[in-house]
Each structure stands twice: as structure tokens, then as C-alpha cells.
């Protein structure tokens, strides 16, 4: 048996070689079974066949509903009544078709399906529908004909995706300061320039696929091919992406293939009267925690549907990549709930859904065939080995995995340990703990830590003092501590990041409070589902200092390109709470000590002169100006060692670079 590089690179996987080999075999066999004599990219063309399509002299509508007894196409054109004239024709065991005269439908018309089955019937939104809108009064969703007189004209070509993504995670709807749902146009005009100014090279857009409940954060998808109409229309989404490309910023879509909303009228559940057209039969087809439906990844029809969905968003909207949500939930029959993944046996004990793993491998293969520069990121908390390893090495093929443990570590440290007990050895180990054969995206906090019921880093650090003491005229030790640690934590996270970094919208300037979408429990208020940009812009408040530090930090990452080097520890001093390491010519200094500063702190380093290029203690970042940034620091020889001696103030981080 040929031993894949996945095992060669990690001898701990050797006992599971047969399981890994079987997975590789399943991926190969499923692609052959799915494609036959065809190609994977051609199997993913369902969106070009199913749904509503305009031809010069007519419309064609096709739908997959094998257990339906009759399907009627209804809408504005029929007075929402069923008519034999618009009864669909079964063309094979699976598919139905209807030819509609060109004059019957026009751009903007609303329509649905009435599907009848043995023992019942129901209104349904077509599975491949590209445009869904909600009536403002009745709150009912309907499909909408989207065939504007002129197609959107792209102004910019695809960008070359960055080698090291610096991702700005964003939600369109909550991006306005006003208490409302913001639009694609408002995001493009008001937020996109902020992202460009902050220096991020990629945006991760959340909640793109249509979802009935706004408060689900976009994770309860009903119409997989339809951009959420609450933010605008498809052309407005295209313009947002197009203008981002014009700024040389890539756009990643947060894609949800881990489950589907359980709603029947809006979603795919019981689409043709059966519960398992798209989903597993019985209890396996329901996610108990999320109250949603679980796809049956073993069915070729489901694979074709999801692969078509990947291709559609990539080609129709020119997304540069995808962050696959809920990958852990997909890969384990118990969805990973309540499990501690403590050793390798947890990944190969038979509780894994190999159908889902095969799908993820095929999705990655398809996307990289269609666009070799595409970026794919897996959101996985389990640590499945090989998830972000290439297919050729025996992996599943994601480009990156989210380093989700970093954010958990910071929260645990802040909550459970007083400042005096922060252990620099533990910090360095946890931040650098990654698989060597996989690329990762690190973050100090994402949207998860900002949700109601949790707390952002800044809110955990300063709590209620944020309401009273964030102005520049107020001296407050709690705020001073919070601002100092907020900067240090973020710099430590990006400085140790494997291959990229992520930040959620507004967290860079310490956005106050939590995210709480409108719901019955808060009287459907939008007060906490917005971003208060004015706080960042107000020169009388300290938020701007955090924003400026984040901007300088991102600029440093881009200029020095330190991701290409592995961190190398120069000093891990648990007693002093000092951590120093280098990446290439860039040297990072951290003093987590809340009380003690250190004069002439010496480290062995390459001979030369070093200059500070980023300093969290700078007045520009609301620091105390205890270090001379302009001074070139020379090394000194001591017992044949080249030593660099520096002053490291308490609760400070700074970065130096060798200049000669």
C-alpha cells in the first residue's frame, strides 16, 4: 500500500492508515460513480438546468420532485390559482418540466409551486430559485423572476488571491449605524472604504444565502441559490464584489452546506411530501440542537445539488473563496456535540460521516478545478487531521482551517486567570499549536465571541467602565488595562498566526456590547445588531486608538510578510511574563506583566542594528510613550554572543526589525 504524505508527515496517524486509505478510496470511487464518463465540473451544472430559465421565445422551468403526483406553477400571472395550463409534465422518474410562453412572465413577477403528493399538498419555493423576496406585510416568501433588461457588466477582473489572507469578517445587514437592516449598496458605499483603509485584503461576507429568520445570522438557509433579498438584489451584490476587486480586495462567501432550515414552505424539508429527498431518513436527518435538516451526502442527487451551488456562487458572483460553515457538524454523526477530541482515535472510530467527508473533498476538488486561485477555509472545532491537507497527500483539500482554539484560549485566560498568572509559555504554545502539514487562519475573536450570551475581548476586559470612561479626558486604570491588553492580544494572535488572520467587523476598534438580532425577547429591536462607527470616528473617544493600532498591525503583516517564516522563540520567561520570538527579520516583544518593566532585557540575536517598527505603547495608540521608537538599537558582544538589550515596559508589545 502506498503510504500517503499525511501519514508520513505525522507518524501518530500510522495506526489509522487503513481507515485513511479507505477514505481516499471512497473519494475516488464516488467521483467515478457521480461523473461516469463526464467531468466533475459538468456534474455541477444543475443550476443551468433546473429552475426558471429564459429563452428567446419562451421560458423553461424544471424541478426535481420524484414523489410528487402533480406540480402546478402559480403566481402573479395566474392570479395565484392552479391551472392545467401551468401544470408541469413529468419527464422522467425524478424531473418535471414546463414550457411557458415568453409573454406570460416578466422581470419582477412572483411565483411558487403547488406540489401535490399522496395524502397532501403544499406551497413550495423552487429548490434552485435564484431570487426570493418576502412580503413586508404578510412576511410570506415567494420566488421572483429575475431577468433584468440588461445584465450586470463587470468592471474588474478576478484578483489574484493573496498568499496570506487578512480577512475582515462582515455581516451586511448589521453594518449600518442606524437601527435597521443595511443593504449591499450601503455596505459598498460606507463600509468597503473602511475595510480598504484598514488594510485587509479579503472580506468574508456572512448571511448571503436566503434565510427566513434574520436572527439566525444566516445559518438557517432556505434558498441556497438566492442572495438574501433583505440586503438587496443580485446585481447589487455583484457590484459590491466588483468594487472590492477594484480595491484589490478578495471576497469570501460564508457558505452553509452543513444543514438546511426545517421550514417547509420556504425550504427543502418535505419538498415533495417526503422527508428524505435531500436529507437523511429518520432521526439522522434532523439536527436536534439547531432544529434543522441534515443533508444526505451519500445521495448523488444531493452531491450534485451542493456542488452546483458551489459552482454557481463562484461563477455567477465571482466570489474568490468560501468559508465552509459547520464542518464539524457535517463530519460526525453526533455533530461533535459534547465531545472532547483528545486523541487521534476520535477521528477514526466509526462515528464519522464518511459521506460528508467525501462531499467536502469533492467540493474542494471542484472549486480548485474551476479556479486554481480559489480560497477554501474549513470551520472545524474537532481538529480532524488532513482536513486542510492536499488531496495528493491524502487530505480533504481545504486550503486553510480556522484556528478556533486561539479565541477560546484568550477567553479562558481572561476569565480564569488574574493578570499576574498569565503564563507566557502557555500563551506561546497555544498560539503556535497547529498541524505542520496544514495552513491555518488565526483570530483573537470572531463573530462567535461577539454574540449575545458571550462577550467580546474588550467587554470582558473593561465591562461597564466602557459606558463611562472611554473618553480621552478621563483617567481610568480599568480602561488603561483593557486598551493595553486588547492591543497585545491581537498582536500576539497575528504574530503567531500560521498563514492568515481574521477579524470581525468592528472588533478592531473594540466595538461595545454584544450582537443581538431582533427577536421576540428584545421586542424585535435593532439596537444591538448594528455597528456604531461614530464611536471609532469620534476624536474624543479612545476607540480610534484601537482602530489605528489594528491598521498599523495589518500594515506590518503586509509589509513584512512574516507569515512565510515559522516563529522562533528567543525568550520565554514565565516569571517575568516576557515573551520574545522572531519570524524572519521581524522580532516580537511582549511583556504581559501588569506591574514590572524591565531595563536592558537581553536576548541573543543576529548581529546588527534593530529599530522599533510598531509599538503598542506609542501615544498614537493611546500608550504611555515609555519607549524611544527613533533609536537604533545595536547588538553587543558578550562571551561571543551577540546580545540585544531593550527596555520592555509593563503591559506593552512592540516589534523590531533588523535594519543593518
Q: Reply yes or no on whether the pLDDT at 2 is more than 90.
A: no
> Would you tell me how many other CB atoms lie within 10 Å of the CB of residue 59?
19
379 catalytic residue (yes or no): yes
Asked if residue 361 has pLDDT above 90, the reply is yes
Count CB-CB contacts under 10 A for residue 88: 21
pLDDT tens track for 362-398: 999 999 999 999 999 999 999 999 999 999 999 999 9
Q: Is 325 a catalytic residue?
A: yes
Average pLDDT over residues 179-190: 98
What is the three-class DSSP state of 53? strand
Residue 96 backbone dihedrals phi, psi, to 5 degrees: -125, 155
Model confidence over 262-282: pLDDT tens digits?
999 999 999 999 999 999 999
List % helix, strand, coil for the chain (3-state, nearest 5): 35, 25, 40
Question: In this structure, what DSSP letter does residue 603 have?
Answer: E
How far, in Å, CA of 207 to CA of 201, rounded?
20
Neighbour order of strands in the sheet with 598-604: 568-573, 578-583, 586-591, 652-658, 609-615, 633-638, 641-648, 598-604
> What pLDDT is recorded for position 239?
98
Average pLDDT over residues 578-602: 97
Which pTM value belongs to this model? 0.97
Alpha-carbon gap, residue 157 to 302, rounded angstroms? 32
Q: What percent of the chain clears pLDDT 70, i.e. is strictly above it?
A: 100
For position 334, what pLDDT does the model report?
Answer: 95
Q: What value does the mean pLDDT take over residues 24-48?
A: 95
**617's torsion region: left (phi>0), alpha (psi -120 to 50) or beta?**
alpha
What tens digit of pLDDT does each residue of 87-138 get?
999 999 999 999 999 999 999 999 999 999 999 999 999 999 999 999 999 9
In the predicted structure, residue 639 carries a pLDDT above the cut 90: no
CB 323 within 8 A of CB 377: yes
**What is the C-alpha separation between 19 and 349, in angstroms, rounded?**
9
Task: Give the 3-state secondary structure of residue 478.
Answer: helix
pLDDT for residue 1 is more than 70: no
Query: Which ranges of 127-191 does DSSP label H, i.e. alpha helix?
Result: 184-186
* pLDDT level of residue 37 (50, 70, 90 thresholds): confident
Is the Cα torsion angle 28, 30, 34, 36 positive or negative in sign?
positive
The active-site residue out of 379, 430, 437, 617 is: 379
Contacts of 263 (CB under 8 A, 6+ apart): 212, 222, 269
Mean pLDDT of the chain: 96
* pLDDT tens by residue, 145-160: 999 999 999 999 888 9
How many CB atoms within 10 Å of residue 148? 12
Q: Give buried/exposed letters for 190-218 (b at 16+ CB in 10 A, else e).
A: ebbebbbebbbbbbbbbbbbbbbbbbbbb
Which whole number is the average pLDDT over 598-619? 96
Burial group, residue 118, by CB count within 10 angstroms (0-12, 13-18, 19+): exposed
Write the pLDDT tens digit of every residue in 327-340: 999 999 999 998 88
Query: For strand 120-124 and strand 132-134, is the pairing parallel, antiparallel, or unpaired?
Result: unpaired
User: Is 80 exceeded by the pLDDT of residue 484?
Assistant: yes
Q: Which of 63, 325, 399, 437 is catalytic?
A: 325
Amino acid at each position: 500500500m502506498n503510504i500517503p504524505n499525511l501519514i508520513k508527515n505525522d507518524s501518530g496517524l500510522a495506526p489509522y492508515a487503513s481507515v485513511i486509505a479507505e477514505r481516499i478510496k471512497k473519494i475516488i470511487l464516488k467521483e467515478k460513480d457521480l461523473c461516469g464518463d463526464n467531468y466533475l465540473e459538468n456534474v455541477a451544472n444543475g443550476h443551468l438546468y433546473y429552475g426558471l430559465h429564459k429563452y428567446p421565445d419562451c421560458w423553461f422551468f424544471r424541478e426535481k420532485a420524484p414523489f410528487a403526483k402533480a406540480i402546478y406553477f402559480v403566481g402573479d400571472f395566474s392570479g395565484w390559482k392552479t391551472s392545467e395550463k401551468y401544470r408541469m409534465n413529468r419527464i422522467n422518474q425524478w424531473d418535471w418540466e414546463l414550457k411557458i410562453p415568453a409573454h406570460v412572465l416578466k422581470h419582477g413577477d412572483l411565483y411558487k409551486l403547488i406540489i401535490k403528493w399522496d395524502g397532501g399538498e403544499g406551497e413550495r419555493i423552487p429548490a434552485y430559485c435564484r431570487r426570493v423576496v418576502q412580503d413586508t406585510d404578510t412576511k410570506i416568501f415567494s420566488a421572483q423572476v429575475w431577468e433584468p433588461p440588461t445584465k450586470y457588466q463587470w468592471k474588474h477582473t478576478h484578483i489574484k488571491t493573496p498568499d496570506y489572507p487578512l480577512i475582515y469578517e462582515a455581516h451586511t445587514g448589521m453594518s449600518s449605524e442606524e437601527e435597521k437592516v443595511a443593504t449591499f449598496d450601503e455596505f459598498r458605499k460606507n463600509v468597503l472604504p473602511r475595510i480598504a483603509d484598514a488594510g485587509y485584503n479579503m472580506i468574508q461576507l456572512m448571511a448571503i444565502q436566503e434565510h427566513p429568520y434574520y436572527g439566525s445570522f444566516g445559518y438557517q438557509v432556505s434558498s441556497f441559490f438566492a442572495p438574501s433579498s433583505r440586503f438587496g438584489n443580485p446585481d447589487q451584490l455583484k457590484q459590491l464584489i466588483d468594487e472590492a476587486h477594484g480595491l484589490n480586495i478578495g471576497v469570501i462567501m460564508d457558505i452553509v452546506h452543513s444543514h438546511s432550515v426545517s421550514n417547509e414552505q420556504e425550504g427543502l424539508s418535505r419538498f415533495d411530501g417526503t422527508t428524505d429527498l435531500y436529507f437523511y431518513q429518520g432521526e439522522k436527518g434532523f439536527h436536534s440542537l439547531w432544529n434543522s435538516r441534515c443533508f444526505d451526502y451519500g445521495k448523488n442527487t444531493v452531491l450534485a445539488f451542493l456542488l452546483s451551488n458551489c459552482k454557481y456562487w463562484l461563477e455567477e458572483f465571482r466570489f474568490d473563496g468560501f468559508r465552509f460553515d459547520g464542518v464539524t457538524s457535517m463530519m460526525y454523526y453526533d455533530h461533535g456535540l459534547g465531545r472532547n477530541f483528545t486523541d487521534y482515535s476520535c477521528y477514526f472510530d466509526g462515528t464519522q460521516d464518511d459521506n460528508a467527508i467525501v462531499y467536502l473533498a469533492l467540493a474542494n476538488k471542484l472549486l480548485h478545478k474551476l479556479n486554481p486561485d480559489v480560497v477554501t477555509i474549513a470551520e472545524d472545532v474537532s481538529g480532524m487531521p488532513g482536513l486542510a491537507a492536499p488531496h495528493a497527500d491524502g487530505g480533504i483539500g481545504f486550503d486553510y482551517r480556522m484556528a478556533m482554539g486561539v479565541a477560546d484560549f484568550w477567553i479562558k485566560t481572561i476569565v480564569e486567570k488574574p493578570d499576574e498568572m498569565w503564563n507566557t509559555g502557555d500563551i506561546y504554545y497555544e498560539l503556535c499549536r497547529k498541524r505542520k502539514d496544514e495552513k491555518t487562519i488565526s483570530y483573537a475573536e470572531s463573530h462567535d465571541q461577539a454574540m449575545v450570551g458571550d462577550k467580546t475581548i474588550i467587554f470582558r476586559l473593561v465591562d461597564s467602565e466602557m459606558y463611562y470612561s472611554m473618553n480621552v479626558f478621563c483617567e481610568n486604570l480599568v480602561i488603561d488595562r483593557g486598551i493595553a491588553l486588547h492591543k497585545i492580544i491581537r498582536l500576539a494572535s497575528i504574530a503567531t498566526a500560521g498563514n492568515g488572520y481574521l477579524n470581525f467587523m468592528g472588533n478592531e476598534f473594540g466595538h461595545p456590547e454584544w450582537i443581538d438580532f431582533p427577536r421576540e425577547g428584545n421586542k424585535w429591536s435593532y439596537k444591538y445588531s448594528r455597528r456604531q462607527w461614530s464611536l471609532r470616528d469620534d476624536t474624543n473617544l479612545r476607540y480610534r486608538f484601537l482602530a489605528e493600532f489594528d491598521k498599523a498591525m495589518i500594515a506590518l503583516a503586509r509589509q513584512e510578510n512574516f507569515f512565510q517564516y515559522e516563529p522562533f522563540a528567543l525568550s520565554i520567561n514565565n516569571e517575568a511574563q516576557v515573551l520574545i520570538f522572531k519570524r524572519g527579520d521581524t522580532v516580537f516583544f511582549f511583556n504581559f506583566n501588569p506591574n514590572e518593566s524591565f531595563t536592558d532585557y537581553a536576548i541573543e540575536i543576529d548581529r546588527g542594528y534593530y529599530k522599533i517598527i510598531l509599538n503598542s505603547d506609542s501615544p498614537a495608540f493611546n500608550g504611555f510613550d515609555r519607549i524611544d521608537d527613533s533609536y537604533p538599537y545595536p547588538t553587543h558582544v558578550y562571551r561571543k554572543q551577540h546580545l540585544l538589550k531593550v527596555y520592555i515596559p509593563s503591559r506593552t508589545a512592540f516589534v523590531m526589525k533588523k535594519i543593518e
